[in-house]
Amino acid sequence: MPLVSALRALKIQYGPLVKIRQTALLTLTGLAGYLSTRPPLARWPTLLILAGSLMLAVSGSTVLNMWFDRDIDAKMTRTRQRPLSSGLASPGAGLWLGVALAALGLGGALALSLLCATIAVAGIFFELGVYTLWLKRRTPWSILWGGLAGGMPILAGRAVGLGRVDGLSVLLALAVVLWIPTHNLTLNMLYADDYRLGGVPTFPTCYGLAATRHTIALASVLAALAMNAALVAEGAAPAVVGLLLALNAGLLGLAAAAWGLPSGRWISGLYKYASVYMIGCMLLLALGAR
């Protein structure tokens, strides 16, 4: 059917711009943050609006990130087949898609509350203004400051549930921000040559692999401590805290292995487990609030 074929073509042409797994993970942190405030079940429409606004805002920010970085992506083996860097999608269409998605996401956030919209704007600012435009091509520390964008969804979720930002909201956002180096630096190590080709300064290329492994280990420990403190402060049941400790053991064990046995296999395993770890933590956060 012509319509089905057209939709399939659009999916192939523009779907990869959204990075659905990354978008889904960040959206999950926002929903877990909201559920951690123990909202009444009757507020399920708010949950749906929050999910939609987060997905749209994160997707729009991601598309705009790819639009700005299409010249870098064209030089790197891992990214050269992305729609904008390969020429499959036109830059003009990509720009308008990113702007439209971000605007819709911000509109949904504003419908929930001005505070939620403000946090969403801050997330886009840190992702695009601070990370992509200012720091990414200048310093490997861009992941630290740009990583603040990753803490915004969970902050926004709790802001919708509470109507304010409290200490636990900040602690949870900090836990996500501290987790980001483990996720990003392992990727930097796995594709160090690619980042050199793209001219992007990373920890492995600027400080060496040993310093990068030490940074990953430290970030993993701090992220685990912050996440554990957050669930205890939330009042999670002992069983939930116990499951979190098991997740922490996996993260710290892999971080230690990647530190002491710096083979690609351990680095790859830690990179994959980092996402599993965050998904598990967010599920426990939501479960601990019931």
At residue 144 the predicted structure's pLDDT band, cuts being 50, 70 and 90, is confident
pLDDT at 231: 92
Domain spanning 1-162, CATH class: mainly alpha
Residue 290: what pLDDT?
55
What CATH code is assigned to 166-290? 1.20.120
For residue 287, pLDDT beyond 50: yes
pTM: 0.93
The three-state (H, E, C) secondary structure of the chain, written as one string: CHHHHHHHHHHHHHHHHHCHHHHHHHHHHHHHHHHCCCCCHHHHHHHHHHHHHHHHHHHHHHHHHHHHCHHHHCCCCCCCCCHHHHCCCCHHHHHHHHHHHHHHHHHHHHHHCHHHHHHHHHHHHHHHHHHHHHHCCCCCCHHHHHHHHHHHHHHHHHHHHHCCCCHHHHHHHHHHHHHHHHHHHHHHHHCHHHHHHHCCCCHHHHHCHHHHHHHHHHHHHHHHHHHHHHHHHHCCCHHHHHHHHHHHHHHHHHHHHHHHCCCHHHHHHHHHHHHHHHHHHHHHHHHHCC
Boundaries of every domain in the chain: 1-162, 166-290
